Amino acid sequence: MRNNYGEYKGKKFYITTAIAYASGKPHFGNTYEVIMTDAIARFRRQLGQDVYFCTGTDEHGEKIENLAAKQEKTPKQLVDEVAGTVRALWDRMNASYDHFIRTTDDYHEAAVAKIFKEMYDRGDIYKGQYEGWYCVPCESFLTDTQAEGGVCPDCGRPVERKVEEAYYFRMSKYAPALIKYIEEHPDFIEPESRRKEMLNNFLYAGLQDLCVSRSSFKWGIPVSFDDKHVIYVWLDALSNYITALGYDPDNSDAQPDKFNKYWPADVHIIGKDIARFHTIYWPIFLMSQGLPLPKKVFCHPWFNFGSDKMSKSKGNIIYADDMADSIGVDGVRYYALSEMPYAQDGSITWESVVARYNADLANNLGNLVSRTVSMAKKYFDGKIPAPDAETELDRDLKSSFASAVDGVYDNMLTYHIADALECVFTALRRANKYIDETTPWTLAKGGDDEHKRLGTVIYNLLEAIRISAVLLVPFIPASAEAILDAIGTDMRDYDSIEQFGALAVGGEVKEVPPLFARIDEKAFLDGIAKEKEEAEKAAKAAEKAAEKPEGVAQISIDDFMGVELRTAQVTACEPVKRAKKLLCLQLDLGYEKRQVVSGIAKWYKPEDLVGRKVIVVANLAPATLCGVESRGMILASGEDEVRVVFLADDTPLGERVR
């Protein structure tokens, strides 16, 4: 052991997660982030650091407004419910956060409005018009190249063409300074692959100015000097890292003590899919405000289900609290932290969940603790015996745990979480082997010399368990605390494991509560398979019901083929006078132009439609609606919320749709 673990004692450490988007319950992959961040925060506290751990929910944006309307709720009602769900899940996972921020908190909204106004007054924000692609789920603006194929490069879902008045941020003004900073601070973005991606794909290619307001919906923080606009959700959300500390743009020379103490952040822990927002947009926003940049942005990989990305459409979503019902909270935490590599995506399968739980937690850790405490009670009346003369086996055991302490320390400082855990469990495997090598049950039958040797063996095993438990506090805190209580010690920090042998002789071990009961793999997997089968049956039944609504008459194939569906492009659009629900669309079918009236004014503005390609019923008999002739009908879905069927930009005009 190095005996230099005190170098961080007393130093501040500000760590954050990305705030969870308040559109629904986070799945296992999302929950990994808060578990990882919590492990780092707990580790830093063990080093004696002054840790401030912030998490929370991102609650504004078009997606929230649309989802709330679909559920017949106000946006605030929706985000209140989801924020409660997120916080309850974080609490269930035993996350030791110091602050939970919501972007609907009054202090946050007030500060963000001021930040926007200051950027505008400084000349960093100007008014213009946005025309381009937008991904509603990701709340991100995309170029034609990024939106190739009509889908978002991050989430794979269809993007929408947006035309609306907007304010822009002069990203190009700060791009050279950011490039220089990233080049001069190679550890600012980690892993290295993400750093190269940001430089090569975005910064070196030329950074376009960013749309930082929206005027087509209302659920957001209003621009203080132009209430037709709300502030772009990412400028709003990213600012939480400073508003959570009380940052106020009005007090540039006298910020609150908490902000002065903890900013800049020591590390933002985020998913790789939002690296662009955190490593390009956020640093530039900070440069605009004259604030120091965070010391590091760590972009963790994703958790896939097998080889597939988790998604509701694929039916492979796993929730951490459901998983905890089967293997316990520490079982979930251990699996998440041990299975995620440093730079590559992790993979979760139910088979690997059972295998890792049984091998590492039940057999290795749980079995070692149970056997050792039982022997201490049986051979020494529950008292911790004094060690005697040391042998080569003892020295080898101690060396294994010295390596574990150093290994955890090194790996946790560099965010190699799974590697840190492997250091502990390698040492635990060595301790189990030590039992087989020393055979305590044989020593118990011998004379005084053997009894002294037995005392040494039991002491060394109890000390190995103590060191392991201290090392495991950041990862599986409840179980680690239970183990430390069982062996009668209150030592929890790194100071206590600098040397092997700190466990007090004469202390009393207690009954160990059940830690990790072995899982019957077949019964467990059969249960999962049955749940999946029942879920699939329910989904198919719902799908079948949706395919054949009650009271809808069936038609023949000949009837269907009699409907002529053609592709067309909207060249112009305007409201129909005296009709609030109607829009008049001018369509180009390639071989002819025609006019169609559609009752979609409640859901679409004319500028939302111009330039888009649609499907039109081309052989519908002409009709006159509110005095305007209509020759056809455009295809749309839904009743309470109508969605026009849009086609990709490269779709030829006038094609027959079959």
Residue 598 is part of a domain; what is its CATH number?
Answer: 2.40.50.140
Let me know if residue 508 belongs to a domain.
no
Domain boundary among 471, 497, 523: 497
pLDDT at position 547 is: 58
User: Does residue 156 belong to any structural domain of this protein?
Assistant: no
Whether residue 97 is contained in a domain is answered as no
- Evaluate whether residue 65 is within a structural domain: no
Q: What is the pLDDT of residues 481-508, one digit of tens each?
A: 999 999 999 998 898 999 999 999 999 9
**Position 440 pLDDT exceeds 70:** yes
Give the CATH number for residue 478.
1.10.730.10
Residues 599, 489 within the same domain: no
Considering the domain architecture, whether residues 341 and 477 belong to the same structural domain is answered as yes
Residues 370 and 488 in one domain: yes
Same domain, 598 and 465: no
Instruction: Report which DSSP code applies to 506.
Output: T
Does residue 460 lie in a domain region? yes
pLDDT in tens, 208-220: 999 999 999 999 9
- pLDDT for 309 equals 78
Q: Per residue in 19-45, is it b (16+ CB within 10 Å) or e — as a string? A: bbbbbebbbbbbbbbbbbbbbbbbbbb
Residue 476's pLDDT band (cuts 50, 70, 90): very high
What are 113-130's pLDDT values in tens digits?
A: 999 999 999 999 999 998
pLDDT digits (tens, 9 = 90+) for 537-575: 877 776 676 555 555 455 555 566 568 899 999 999 998
Q: Are residues 457 and 576 in the same domain?
A: no
- Alpha carbon separation from 521 to 321, 350, 399, 528, 574 (Å, rounded): 20, 10, 35, 11, 63
Q: Are residues 427 and 564 in the same domain?
A: no
Residue 470 within a domain: yes
User: Is residue 140 situated within a structural domain?
Assistant: no
- Measured CA to CA, the distance from residue 155 to residue 173 in angstroms comes to 29
Same domain for 476 and 592, yes or no, is no
Helix H or strand E encompassing 50: strand 50-58
Residue 601 shares a structural domain with residue 465: no
Residue reference for tokens 């597939």: 308
Last residue of a domain, one of 497, 527, 542: 497
Average pLDDT value for residue range 1-27: 90
Angle between helices 448-472 and 367-380 in degrees, nearest 10: 140
Helix (H) or strand (E) holding 568: strand 565-575
Q: What is the CA 443 to chain-centroid distance, rounded?
A: 52
Looking at the structure, tell me whether residues 466 and 333 fall in a common domain: yes
Q: Is residue 532 part of a domain?
A: no
Statement to judge: residues 487 and 576 lie in one domain: no
Same-domain status, 332 and 467:
yes
- Total-model pTM: 0.81
Same domain? 465 vs 374: yes
Q: What confidence tier does 512 reach under pLDDT thresholds 50, 70, 90? A: confident
Query: Based on the structure, what is the number of domains in the chain?
Result: 2
Is the predicted pLDDT of residue 311 greater than 80, yes or no?
Answer: no
What range defines the domain where residue 478 resides?
Answer: 328-497
- Of 497, 513, 535, the one marking the end of a domain is 497
Q: Which structure tokens are listed for 522? A: 């077949």
